[in-house]
Amino acid sequence: MAEASKANRKELIDESTRLKTSVRDAARQEKQRKLAELLREKTEADETGADVERKKNWAYTIEENDEWEKKLARKKRRADFEYHDDTTTTHRKYKKDLDLLKPNLEAYNRQREVALGLAPGSLKGTPSASQVALIAAQAAGEQGVELLYRDANTLLYADNKPSEEAIDRVTGKLALDAEKRQKYSRKRANEDEGDVTYINERNRVFNKKIARYYDKYTEEIRASFERGTAL
């Protein structure tokens, strides 16, 4: 039984190694294929005098190009990670949350149509703040509008029943935030070593070597310094 268990374990390790090697080889071959394709296109472009980047961009639609430019602009705006003030930090966090919790505009427009008594499919797009205020003013006193556009004087509360999909989105976002907080508050390396007496990792290793040889001779002097009784 011991020999069979040992043989099974060896076979399992060998199989795992083969799988890892095959995945690694496939990734390397795919990388080499893409590099060869890129070199071939560049060579053909040099021979014909064509622009490689322009030819590559022909494969993208106008919508994809616009989305890519918006992504680059958004990335440039958020490249500043320095702390300025609470308002800027909160706004940056709000923008990141919007990327993960995008509103369902179709469901919102259906709610507006029901509240305003419009035909299905009448409303499209996102209403501006002025349009919302105008709709609320024109339909003041109507029960449907009061249910949709509530102000500080309303007595209606706790009557909204979100869908299971919406609940899953919120719980997923909360779980992601908790995971990020856990990573940020994780125990740092060398945290149990006491006071920080080094400026980088190399200096920490050097100080540790010095302490291993000389701490037994300087223990009393350091204790006197800490007590404030050193001469």
Instruction: State residue 12's pLDDT score.
Output: 81
More confident call, 230 vs 217: 217
Q: What is the pTM of this model?
A: 0.39
Domain definitions of the chain by residue range: 1-44, 100-184
CA–CA separation, 77 vs 89, rounded Å?
13
Q: Which two three-digit tokens encode residue 138?
A: 């024109």
Range with lowest mean pLDDT among 7-16, 81-90, 102-111, 181-190: 181-190
- Residue 136: which pLDDT band, with cuts at 50, 70 and 90? low
| DSSP for residue 193 | G
Nearest to 57 by CA among 41, 44, 33: 41
Share of the chain above pLDDT 90, in %: 0
Question: Residue 188: is its pLDDT beyond 60?
Answer: no
Mean pLDDT of 91-109: 81
pLDDT tens digits, one per residue of 171-184: 888 888 888 888 77
- Residue 189: which pLDDT band, with cuts at 50, 70 and 90? low
pLDDT tens digits, one per residue of 37-77: 888 878 877 777 777 677 777 778 888 888 888 888 877 77
| Residue 19 half-sphere exposure toward CB, CA atoms < 13 A | 6
